[in-house]
Structure 1
Amino acid sequence: MAGSIRTEIAVIGAGVIGLAVAERLLAEGREVTLVDPEDPGMGASYGNAGTIADYAVMPVGSPDVLKNLPALLFDRNSPLAIRRAALPALMPWLMRFARESLPAATARNAAAIAALLADACPSWLDLSERIGGGNIVQKRGCLYIYETKAAFRAAGADMDFRRSLGITVDLIGPEALRQMEPGLPGVEGGAAFFPKAVFLNDPGRMVSLLASHVTASARLIRARAVRLERRIDGVIVSGPDLNLHASKVVLAAGAHSRALAAQAGDRVPLDTERGYHVEWDMETPRLSRPSCPTSRGFYLCPMQGRLRVAGTVELGGLTAPPSPHRIAKLVEGARAIFPDLPEPSREWMGFRPSVPDSVPVIGPGRGGSDVIHAYGHGHIGLTLAPITARIIADLVMGRDPELDLAPYLPTRF
C-alpha cells in the first residue's frame, strides 16, 4: 500500500468480538476501521455451539481437571487432549494452567467469569434486535445431561457452586428430561436445566448480520496485521498490503493476538484451542435446545435445518491440519446418542483463544490506553461479545467501565 490510511480507531480482528466492539463504537459516533484477512465472522464466531452460556462460570482448569490432567491430555479419546508434537511449546502454558487449577485460583477465576456473564443474555437480546437478528435468538434454556445416576448425584455440588455465583439452575430427573426433550433417548441420571440461557440457531447468520450492520458504516481492510508500532501521534498497524495510522487500536484478533500483544508491551500466555464440529442436515434436528452430555464433552445443537455437534478441546496451535481422529470421536459420540445418524453433511475446525485461567483479556496494557486488549475468551467469546464491546466503548470514551477491570487486564500476567 503506497500511503498510510488514517483512522480514529483500528479494530484488529473481525470475529464476533471485533464486530461487536465496532458496533458499539460506531453507535458512539467514532470512526472505525476493521482489519482482518478473512471474511468477517467466519472463524470461531461461525462454528460454535450457538449457546449464550450465562451459566458457563467454571474455568477449564479446576481441581478435578488437575487431578486427572495427565490422563486427560494424553488420552487421544479425551474431551481435553493435546497434539503431542505441540507439547514442548505448550509446557509454559500448561504449568500456568496447572497453577490456575488449584482450589483458590479456580474460585477466583470463576467469580471473575461470572461477573462478565451476569448480563450476557439480555445484552444479546438487545444486540440482536439492533441488527435485525431477533428471530435467530431462541429462549429455551440449555441442558447438561448426566447419563448415570452417579454423575447426576455428583453434579449437585457443582450446581450449588454455580448458584452461589448467581446462576439459575434446576436439577431434573429422567422423567422430566424425557418430557422436555422426547427426542433424546432415556438416561439413568437426569439433567441440569439452565432456564435463563438463550441460544442462536444460526450463529453464522447472526454474525453475518452483525458484519453487514458494521461494514455499512466502518471501513473494512482485508489484510493481516503483523506489526504494531506506538508513536507519539498514534499507533502504526502494518503488514502485507497494510499501512494504517490509528489514534487507538483495539486488539481483538482472537487466537492470533499474542504476537501483536507482545509488540504492544504485554507478554500474554495466549495459546490455541482447536475446536471441532460436525453437522447433519435435517428438517427437524431432534431436540429443541442445546444439550451437553457432560461426560462426552460436546454439545448437541439444534441449528436451523441441521443438527450440529460441537465441542472437545485440542491444544495444538494454529498451523497443524485438522485431526481426523477428533472428527471421528464427535461422530462416534453423536451416534452413541442417536445411533441412526448417517455420514455427516460437513465438518469444521476453528481456533479458540485460550489463556490458562480462562479469564478474558480486556483493557489497556502496560504501554497505555492507545492499545486496548479484547481477546482470550475461550469457549465463551460469542456469549461475551456484547459486554466486552460495552467495556471497550467505555474505555475509548473515557468513562468508568461497569466492572472493575483488575481481573481481566493483560497486566495480571
Structure 2
Amino acid sequence: MKADIAIIGAGVVGMTCALALLHQGRGVTLFDPNAPGSGCSYGNAGTIADYAVQPVGTPGVLRDLPRLMFDRNSPLAIRKAALPTLAPWLARFLRQSLPGKARANAQVLAGLLADAGPRWAELAADCGASDLLQDRGCLYLYADQKGVDAAKSDLAFRRDLGVQVDILNSAELAAMEPGLPAMAGAAFFPGARFLSDPSAMMAALAARVQALGGVFITEPVKSLIPGAQPRLQAAQEWQASEIIVATGAHSKALARMAGVRVPLETERGYHLEWNRPQPRLTRPACITERGFYLCPMTGRLRVAGTVELGGLKAPPSPHRLARLEQGAKSVFPDLGTPSRTWMGFRPSLPDSLPVIERGENHVTLAFGHGHLGVTLAPITAALVAGMIFGERPVLDLAPLSARRF
C-alpha cells in the first residue's frame, strides 16, 4: 500500500500535523490502534498553558527531590519497582535541574509557548469549534500568605520570559470566583485559554482531518524502515514519501527504528470527574501546594494532575486517585463519589522539551511534549510542516533535536 505522508499517532499532535499538511495539499494517512484523540489528548486538564514556561526540573525541585520522592502525598511520585529502569533518566533530569540548564530550557519553552493562544484560536476556528475554546485565563491558588510570598520569585521569572500574570488578593479572587472557599490570593494568567470539552475538540479535529481528505487507519504500527521511500508495517506494509512519529509516550521504540535513541520515559497522569451541571468555577485553577487542577468542563468538574513516574505497564495507583479525590474535597467537601476515573501516559524527557526534528531518512519526530501536548500541538504542526516543505523555521530547532542527548 502507498501513502503520501504517513503519521504514526492520531492524538492531538498527529492530527494537528495532519491538518497543517492537508492545508498545503498533501495527502495524509494516520495510523493508531485507538480512536483519534484518545489517551492524554482527551484526559488532560484542558489548559492552553502559555504561562507554563518552567520546566519540570528546576533548582527548587532539585533541592526538594528527596522529600518529593519519598513523600507518598507529594505531587511527584516514583514507583519503586521502576527505579532501576528510571535511574539513567533521573540522572539526566538532575543535570537539567541545575540553574543554568533549567533557565535555558525555560527560555526554549517560552519561545514555543509565545503564541499558543492565538494559534489555538485559529485551529479551533478552522475546525468549527471556537465555542469549545474558552478565553478566561487560568488561576494558581494560594491557601495562605506564605504561599503567596513563596510564589513571587517564580512569577517574576515568568514575567521576565514574557508571561502576563496578575497577583490577586483574597477579595479580588473571591469576586472573580465566588464559588471557591476563602484563600489568601492567586496568580491570574489572563492570556491562558482552556478547552471546555477536550473530547469534543478532539472529535472536531478528527472530523476536519477527514473532511480535508485525511484517512485514519485503526491499526498498530509494528515497525518502520527509514530511507528515501520509508516504509511502515501495520496490518500490511505501507510505503510513504515521509513518515512522522507522533505517538507520545509510545514513541521510543519507533524513534530507535529511525536510528535515534531518545531518553523518553512515562509520566502517568490521572483525573477524576464529577458530573455537575454547574462546576462551581469558571476557569481552571491549580491548587499549587497539591499540584493538581480543578477544571470546569461541560457538565462536569474534572480534577487532573500530579506526576507519577512508573512506565507503561503498571496498573493505575489507587493511592494517586485517592490523593486527587482528597485534594478536590479539601476545596469542595460535598463533592461525593467521583463519577469516573482515568489514567493516561505523558511522554516525558529530562529537560521538559519535546523532540521536533526531521531526519535525512525521511522520518520526522514530533513527540515528548510532557504536560504540554495539547498546548504545543499547533506550533509543533507548523514546525513539522515547515521542515517537510523546506521552509525556514520560525524558531531555533537545535534545542529540540533528538540528538541533543
Partner of residue 149, structure 1: 145
* 1:186 partnered with 2:182: yes
Alignment check: 8 A CA contact 1:364 1:372 kept: yes
Alignment check: 8 A CA contact 2:226 2:361 kept: no
- What runs of 5+ residues in structure 1 fail to find an aligned partner? none
Q: Secondary structure at the match of 1:68?
A: helix
Alignment check: 8 A CA contact 2:50 2:192 kept: yes
Shift of 1:161: 0.5
Q: Which runs of 4+ in 1 moved over 4 A?
A: none
Partner of residue 125, structure 2: 129
Distance in 1 separating the partners of 2:37 and 2:376: 15
Distance in 1 separating the partners of 2:170 and 2:321: 29
Q: Secondary structure at the match of 1:307?
A: strand
Partner of residue 411, structure 1: 403
* 1:401 partnered with 2:401: no
Out of 317, 339, 345, which is 1:345 matched to? 339
Alignment of 1:313-352 (within 5 A): 313-352=307-346
AA partner of residue 197 (structure 1): A
Partner of residue 8, structure 1: 4
Q: Secondary structure at the match of 2:350?
A: coil
Partner of residue 205, structure 1: 200
Q: Secondary structure at the match of 1:347?
A: strand
Q: Secondary structure at the match of 2:84?
A: helix
Q: Secondary structure at the match of 2:366?
A: strand
Shift of 1:76: 1.8
Distance in 2 separating the partners of 1:341 and 1:25: 44
Shift of 1:238: 1.1
Q: Secondary structure at the match of 2:4?
A: strand
CA RMSD for the aligned pairs?
0.9
Partner of residue 371, structure 2: 379
Partner of residue 238, structure 1: 233
Q: TM-score, normalised by structure 1?
A: 0.97
Distance in 2 separating the partners of 1:312 and 1:244: 39
Partner of residue 277, structure 1: 271
Shift of 1:380: 0.6
Alignment of 1:247-286 (within 5 A): 247-286=241-280
Partner of residue 83, structure 1: 79
| Residue range with higher mean Cα deviation, 147-156 or 121-130 | 147-156
Shift of 1:50: 0.5
Shift of 1:242: 3.5
AA partner of residue 73 (structure 1): M
Alignment check: 8 A CA contact 1:300 1:307 kept: yes
Partner of residue 112, structure 2: 116
Identical residues among aligned pairs (%): 57
Query: Can you list the C-alpha shifts for 1:313-348, whole angstroms capped at 9, x where unaligned?
Result: 100111111111111000000000001111000000
